[in-house]
A and B are shown apart, each in its own frame.
Chain A
């Protein structure tokens, strides 16, 4: 059959295809489809900034308008990746600026972004619209000022949980008077006070502003005046909610909130006094998302708030909600899809907080649409896991953190193997799973066999031997990201399943028993994997069989990276010489 689709027809069809997974499939059909696809892809996603070079990406996608990049491994969020590991944004920004000036959106997660990067973005991309930095670091408020000052059509500026060198609140005044295009502004992670009058003016001249997330330095008074300027907000992150108890202050606040008829999402609420919660009651019926993870509100004030939130879909809260609070959520918040419960006393044994596995069981029973869970709890039971799996087979994300490492089922003293088996078997659509508590190798046999759609798996303090890793790597057909800490195995399973690693984005293992010798072998066996040994001490200073502190293995077409710090050891591959010559940087 010599029929060929004229490129224009294919282009037209492709304009309806947004998902990158689908576009990746399209590009594999044949050369001409590859060419047409690459010339029409506007939104590019790079899940690991070291998997491919900036040059390759900019070359392949000349019409790129939006780039999303991820850098450090996920465990960097919990201080497991030493500072200076890498994830630099500069090479990417430089490459994009050199190629074209039409980039409009940059989203980066866990990357090192400097002021130079931000200045380069501002200077290079004439129609720059969206900057979202999540868990990034390396820049100061000067860099933000550059973006504010220069990007005339800026719509979105979001700094989510970034570590920013805060040189003061002046950056806000750099938005020119002509700037009226803002749709979303999030500076909740900054410490310094901004001038409220500047912020009021900015908000007043931004009719499209829908999302505003303030930092804790903004007071309640400031919040009131801002809400008056922007009653059209759909997402609000308040500043500090602490204030002197004054009746006029309370009624002003209440009134300001009641005018925000479109508010759907509420967060911030630092230091909120329970007496001020009623000011929020008017917006509760419309809320779909509520983040109380910084609010040390206790029972029964929490229930008073939550029972009014009948449309709530997403709830992030501290364990101060207790079992009875979650029981209330189960009966009032029938639309709930996502629940996250954080520990209020992470450094001490939270035995005085009446939050147990029962809380999650209540919600699993009462909230039919529940599909995403993150739950911190001191201990758990298999019975609870059975119930959760049975009631909520539609779970897509289940992350349970039993805070006490190696804690068995506290009622039967058995490992939590059977409970997690029930979850893996019952929740057929599970995409993300984090396990904890006392787990033997058996648990991983079940997970390997049944968790067919799990893409990301996190494990801590679990298992007995290499069998655990063997089970996971020989099963889990959709596995893309595996992160493991403090588990007693390493070499054998890793080497046996080396090929599996190329089907995954990355594998992280810290405080396990992977030896340097195994790392060398693996690296040599698999040319398209970067095997990084992250260790304070040079691996050669110890016997090859002794375990290394951390390893990070990821597939790449870019070869070993050139920007590693002293404590990262990558094994250079030399295909000609094979085994005999292995240079270590």
Chain B
């Protein structure tokens, strides 16, 4: 027993480990209420995949229903804006699914007209070539939800003949280098690939000790385990919100094999990107 500063008497933990064990266990035992709260929280944090048009949820994983040879995933608003302007405007894409999730950082939106500044996770396939799948994910997927997301999208069996390309951004202050930060010309692109990805990437590889975080890391790890060729293009930028210069930093990827056939009119795409920026620019007057 010990007394705290406030005069309350508390049980001091016993180093011997054997005394008072039963009493401690009683305290730790879950009540029905605890279990109910835990169940409700788990239900709230569930990642649901469904078709927005029919409002029906998918009973199998997305890739099982729509097998693909090329899967391009944009995570974060700048990566999403890049794919919207350069890839999605060069063909007819049909929505095949949408992920709905909630966590402390974001809640996916239900609106029909999605702008890269909002939180959503939508999957499309190219009408003219349905084996090309695209994912626009501008919401934050929490650590406990990443596994669910992977299960619902990739499923739990190996996918053959598929290549995955990921695009995402990270703040340049997370980039570890022995050079001085002022000599870095951000935004800049770095690549990280799985063992089975044999093509040369469009930029230099990410050096140690830098690591990838969140959903892109989960997807890359999944691809490495299941021997799927995958490459992540990570843009280090000093502006994390929707920004023209950051989005344009992804341009070298347009020459990669996975995107080459999908991008048609680059000058037009640049115009579309500029329009997207002006309509979505958060009118912050803090900086002039």
Are chains A and B native binding partners rather than an unrelated pairing?
no
Measured CB to CB, the residues of A under 8 A from B are none
